[in-house]
Structure 1
Amino acid sequence: MDPLRPANVEELKHLIGIYKQFLPQSIQFVSLLQNILRTNLTLHDTDEEQVSHRLQKTVYIPNNEKGNRLATFVAISREEDQYIFINTLEVPPTELTHALEHTTYIKWGIKPMFVIGDNSEIRAKLSQLIVEPKVQFKSSSDCVNYWMPQTEAAKLSYIVPADVDLKPLQVQHAKQLNEWWPYRYRTSQQYFESAIKYFGAFGLFDKTSGELVACVFQNDHDAVGHLYTVPERCNRGYGCTLAKAITKHIAVQYKQDVHTFIDGNNERSIRLFNKIGYKAVSRTEWLVASKH
C-alpha cells in the first residue's frame, strides 16, 4: 500500500486551516494550498492538455486513519515535469521521509524539482533519499518570502503614471511575458497563458503606441510574480503601480493574505516591496537533483 493518498476537498481545507495557525511564517504553504484547492475546483471539467501542467497539482497526505494532525503533505504537478512541494510540522520529519522514500507517485528518474521551506532537516532527509551515484540535490533558487495581511493589502491605493494605461493582460500577451522571462522552459508559454486565464495579470501599456511596457501576474503559488519593466522605461514608478495593483487584486478577489518571494540578491525588488508594506517572514528553496 502506498504511504500517500490524494487529499479530498475537506481534507485540503483542514490542512489549510492548520497552516493558517502559523501565519505569517507559513504564508507560502497557505497560499500554495489555497491555490491548488481553488484551481482544481475551477479546472474540474477542463481538458488537462489545454492547461499548463504546473497548474495541475494533486495534494497527497499520509494514507492512514489517524488524521493528518502533523500537517504532512506532498503536492505534485503533472509527471511530465514534476514540481514537488513538501512540508510537515513533525520534528524530525519521520512521517514525511517515510512517505517520500516509499511512495510511487514521485518519478525519481526524471529528477523532479523539490520546493521546501526553511527546514534543514527536510533538506537533509531529501539528500539521503538519492541512491544514484554522483547525484545530489543542488539549490536552484533560494528566496525570501515577503508577506502582507489581507486587511492591509485590500486598502492599497496606487497612481498610474500619466504615460501609460493599466489593463488586465489577455492570453495573447503570454508570448511576450515568456520572452521576457529569464527562466523559460519548453512549455513555459503555456504556463503564462494558463496563469493569465485562471489567476490574474496586469500590464502597463504605452498611451501612444499601445505597446506593453511592464507586467506582473499571480503565479501558481498564489504569489506576486514576474514583475518586469522594459529596460528603457525603468525608474518611472511602473513597478510600484503594478505591485500594488496585483497585491490588491489578490487580497480583494480571494480575501486572503498576499505574498511574494524574492531572491536575496535582488535589492531593487526588496526595496520596492518593503516600501509597499511587505514584511520578510520565511524562506523557500528550490532543489534539483543533478550530477556533481
Structure 2
Amino acid sequence: MENFVDGNEATETADWEDVGEDKIPMVLAEMAKEGKDSIYILNSIRRIMKWSAKCPEVEMKMYRPKNIQWRSSVIVTAEGKLDVAFIFSPYKSCSFLLSAIRENGIIKMENQPMVYFGVPEEFFGHLEHEIISGEFTAAWSFVFNSYWLPPETAKKFKVDVPTGFTISRLDPSHASTVNSVWPYASASSLALVYDTILVNETAGLFEEKNSRLVSWILHVYYGLGMLYTEKEYRRRGYGTIMVKALSKRLAENGAEINLLAKEDNVEANSVFQKLGFQATGPVMVIQIQSRS
C-alpha cells in the first residue's frame, strides 16, 4: 500500500456516497488495481454479494468517498441475518475513514457487526480506538494474516481419504455441532453456520462405520473457516485433508480461495504456507458489542 498524501490533504473530511448496483463492477475493478493489498477484502466483498443474492434476508450496501482523492477506498456493509462490514483503503491516511465511522453512520454499530479492516497496519490502533471510544466496545479484536491460494495450485491437490472414512458435504443438522466449538460463536452465530451450510460449499470427514463427523471446514463469507477436528482425531493430518478437499472443489468451480490465520498461530500459518497459500497482508477484525 504505497498511496501517500501530504499532511494538509490528510486532514480533509470525505463525504461518502452509496454506490449503485450498476457501478459496483467498476469499483471492484478499481480495487483490483491495488494488487495483493486488496485481494482479501475484494474477494470477501464478492462472497458477500453472492451471499446476499442467495439470501434475501441479507442486504448489502457499498460506499465510497465522493472525493476522487480517496476513490480506491471502499466500505461494504451487510445487514440482516448477517451483520458485517468490510473496510478497504490503501492510503497513508485514516482521517476520512474516521469520519465515516464517527459522523456518517455508514456502519450501524447498534447491530453489533463484525468489522474487517484492510488498511495500512499503522492505522489499526487509531480505528479500533475510534470504534470503542463511545457507547460501543469490542467483544474481541485480533490481527490476522490473510492468505490467497492460486487456483492452479488448488486444482493440483491430491486428496487422500483415510481408510474407513469418507468426505462429503455437511448438512444443516451439523450446524449446532460446528457452532458449539467455533471460537467466535455468538448469540446469532448458529443461524450464520446454518445458512453457510445451506448456501455455500463445505467439506466433512465422516467415519464410514457410524457416519460420525470428525473433521470439517466451511466456505464462509470471509473465506475458508470454522476448520475443526475432534480432539481424539487430531495429529493425523485430517485438518490439512479438509483444507485440500474444499480448496480443490472451490477452484474447480471457479471460486476464489482466501483464509485468515491469527498472527500468533505459528503452526497454522506454517501449514497454510506449505500448502501454497500466499500472504496478502494483515487484516484487523473487531466484533462490536454494546457497553450496555
Contact 1:116/1:123 (<8 A) preserved: no
- Counterpart of 1:249 in structure 2 is 249
Map residues 200-279 of structure 1 onto 2, 5 A cutoff. Answer: 200-221=201-222, 223-256=223-256, 258-279=257-278
Cα shift readout 1:22-78 (whole Å, capped 9, x = no counterpart)? 3333221121111122222333xx4x2xxxxxxx352331374x6796222222232
One-letter amino acid of the structure 2 residue matched with residue 242 of structure 1: M
| Correspondence list, 1:68-83, <5 A | 70-78=71-79, 82-83=83-84
Number of aligned residue pairs: give it: 276
Query: Which of 24, 33, 43 does residue 21 from structure 1 map onto?
Result: 33
Query: What is the distance in 1 between the residues matched to 2:65 and 2:33?
Result: 24
Q: Which has the higher mean CA deviation after the structures are superposed, 124-133 or 114-123?
A: 124-133
**1:66-114 deviation digits (Å, cap 9, x = unpaired):** 6796222222232688432212233323443333332234334565543
Q: CA shift at 1:220, angstroms?
A: 1.0
- Shift in Å, 1:125: 4.7
- 1:52 counterpart residue number: none
**TM-aligned CA deviation for residue 255 of structure 1:** 4.1
Deviation at 1:6, TM superposition (A): 3.5
Q: Is the 8 A contact 1:12 1:37 kept in 2?
A: no
RMSD over equivalenced CA pairs, Å: 2.9
1:60 aligned residue (52, 59, 62): 62
Aligned positions of 1:1-292 closer than 5 A: 3-43=15-55, 46=56, 48=57, 56-62=58-64, 64=66, 70-78=71-79, 82-109=83-110, 112-119=113-120, 120-121=122-123, 123-125=125-127, 127-128=129-130, 132=134, 140-221=141-222, 223-256=223-256, 258-288=257-287
Letter in 1 for 2:149: M
User: Quick one: distance in 1 between partners of 2:169 and 2:64?
Assistant: 40
Instruction: Tell me, in whole angstroms, the C-alpha distance in 1 between the residues paired with 2:208 and 2:81.
Output: 41
Higher mean displacement: 78-87 or 202-211: 78-87
Provide the TM-score with structure 2 as the length reference.
0.82
Deviations 1:189-226 (A, max 9, x none): 111111111111110000111100110000111x1101
The one-letter code of the counterpart of 2:279 is A
Residue in 1 that maps onto 2:10: none
Cα distance in 2, alignment partners of residues 91 and 36 from structure 1:
27
Deviates more, 1:168-177 or 1:105-114: 105-114
| TM-aligned CA deviation for residue 277 of structure 1 | 1.2
* 1-structure distance, mates of 2:180, 2:112: 26
Contact kept, 8 Å, 1:115 with 1:286, in 2: the verdict is yes
What residue identity is the alignment partner of 2:158? Answer: S
- AA matched with 1:24: K
Residues 63, 75 of structure 2: 8 Å contact kept: yes
Which deviates more, 246-255 or 108-117? 108-117
Q: 1:51 matched to which residue of 2?
A: none
The amino acid across from 2:52 in the alignment is: N
Q: Distance in 1 between matches of 2:21 and 2:269?
A: 36
Q: Distance in 1 between matches of 2:193 and 2:146?
A: 22
Aligned counterparts of 2:132 and 2:226: Cα–Cα separation in 1: 32
